[in-house]
Amino acid sequence: MVVVQTNSSDLSAVLEPISQDMAVLTQRLSSNLIDDNPFIDELLDQVFRAGGKRIRPGLVLLCHRATCKEDSNSTDAVEQQLHITLAALTELIHTASLVHDDVIDRADVRRGQTTVHTQWSEKIAVLLGDLLFAQASVCLSQLESPQIVGIYGRVLGDLCAGEIRQMRQQYSLDVNWESYIHKSYCKTASLFSAGCRSAAILNNCSAEIIQQLAEYGKNLGICFQITDDLLDVTGNSDVLGKKTGGDLAQGIITAPALAVLERKDEPANKLAHLINTRAVNSTEGLEEALDLIQRYGGVEDTRALCRKYASQAKDNLKVIPNSSYRDSLDGAIEYLLHRVS
């Protein structure tokens, strides 16, 4: 067996062992399962042309390859087709939620491309998001697994509930670690976990492996959301494609701010005041808030929280046999940590 050395800063190295599957996936994503209409083809092309990291379908395919039975032929066409379908529906749901999210957030650009609602209209964007959910439902039916239908039904509910929770908590100092982690699970980790768990279910893995991969996806997904929230404070706005501090400016309290607020000292009171009075909406107020986070441990504490979830995800992989695919699942954890190191 050839073990691929993954460079922790490079996601393409992590996805290298499944590069052929990823190429098949790319074709699958733009195929129009619903309506033979050239405008819909154009819209699908627009949302998938921009690419994105494809980390969710990549994890599905890695979990599939890492848990294939040794006596099964891993290039078996039917078996592979099911996992490509699972990977595709996972990316379809993610993309649909982003098309809707950009309408809610009034975002003009996503992945360096003009958003659908900006280029066409909000009505088209809402309907395209719905159409992508419809494509995902067709894929889901092809798996012929009521268990996986239930898992993904729950994910759709989590995505909506996470978004509603976040809206209700804007500028609220009632956010605590438990509600923050729960929201991060709903918005991000639920879909990660569903993909990893379902890949193991399709491979008829043992209950233990299914459970550990579900936990791996959950821990990695929470880690992913926390790194995203940290980059919102520390990241380079040119690289991120959005302004630094955007979450705080919108009154969204994430890990770096929570870490300062929980000190309950003078800097915590100052930060609470800036949020409470919505001073974070102004450039000076936001700069002061970001400065408090940088100076009073918000960044370091958040890095430590990322490492905690990363370490739990690493432990979850112990039940998986050694392979280049397992190395890549491990490499995905390192990749996230490297983003915020």
User: Which of ligand FPP, Mg ion, none does residue 97 bind to, with CB < 5 to 8 Å depending on kind?
Assistant: ligand FPP
Task: Count CB atoms within 10 A of the CB of residue 212.
Answer: 21
String marking each residue 148-187 x if it binds ligand FPP according to CB under 6 A:
--------x--xx--x-----------------------x
**55 sits near ligand FPP (criterion: CB under 6 A):** no
**What is the token pair recorded at 197?**
């768990």
Q: Which of residues 68-127 bind ligand FPP (CB under 6 A)?
A: 97-98, 100-101, 104-105
Q: Which is nearer to ligand FPP, 159 or 293 (CB)?
A: 159
Q: Residue 26 CB, nearest distance to ligand FPP (Å)?
A: 21
Tell me the C-alpha distance between 292 and 296, whole Å.
6
The least CB distance from residue 265 to ligand FPP, in Å, is 29
The nearer residue to ligand FPP, 158 or 330, going by C-beta atoms, is 158
The interface mask with Mg ion, positions 96-115, x = CB under 5 A, is -----x---x----------
The answer to whether the CB of 338 falls within 8 A of the CB of 7 is no
Is 41 or 105 the residue whose CB approaches Mg ion more closely? 105
DSSP letter for each residue of 112-153: TEE-HHHHS-HHHHHHHHHHHHHHHHHHHHHTT-HHHHHHHH
304 token code pair: 């430590």
Q: Which residues neighbour 65 within 8 Å (Cβ) at sequence distance 6 or greater?
A: 17, 18, 21, 74, 323, 325
CA 119 and chain centroid, separation: 25
User: CB of 217: closest distance to Mg ion in angstroms?
Assistant: 22
Cα(195)–Cα(151) distance, integer angstroms? 9
Q: Which token pair is 266?
A: 């003078």
Q: How far is CA 246 from the centre of its chain?
A: 18
Given the rule CB under 6 A, which residues bind ligand FPP? 97-98, 100-101, 104-105, 133, 156, 159-160, 163, 187-188
Given the rule CB under 5 A, which residues bind Mg ion? 101, 105
